[in-house]
């Protein structure tokens, strides 16, 4: 699957890298000029996250940060460390 979000399917997009030269007019220059255009890739910001599945298990998935922030993915629920279960009978 490569560099692709496993939830929304976001993958690298192609675009242009534009190189400028000169000083902007509002700063007192004669204006900026475009001196070169080359192709580039816009890569999605993917993170490896342990996710709790609806059926109850945990799994590691590669998810983009927008899916994490929007709440589409629920991070795994951890049990408290060093705590005894409440079903232990006390005398």
Q: Could you give all domains of the chain from N- to C-terminal order, each with its CATH number?
A: 13-70 (2.30.170)
* β-pair partners for 7: none
Beta carbons of 63 and 1 less than 8 angstroms apart:
no
DSSP string for 30-76: S--EEEEEEEEEE---EEEEEEE-TTS-EEEEEEEHHHHHHTSSPBP
What pLDDT was estimated at residue 15? 97
CB atoms within 10 A of CB 49: 19
Give pLDDT tens digits along the chain (91 positions): 589 999 999 999 999 999 999 999 999 999 999 999 999 999 999 999 998 887 878 889 999 999 999 988 888 877 767 777 777 565 6
What pLDDT was estimated at residue 88? 58
């Amino acid at each position: 699957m490569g560099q692709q979000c496993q939830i929304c399917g976001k993958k690298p997009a192609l675009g242009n890298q534009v190189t400028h030269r000169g000083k902007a007019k509002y700063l007192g220059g004669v204006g900026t000029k475009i001196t070169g255009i080359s192709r580039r890739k816009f890569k999605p910001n993917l993170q490896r996250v342990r996710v709790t599945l609806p059926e109850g298990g945990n799994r590691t998935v590669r998810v983009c940060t927008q899916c994490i922030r929007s709440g589409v993915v629920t991070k795994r629920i951890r049990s408290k460390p060093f705590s005894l279960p409440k079903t232990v009978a006390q005398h």
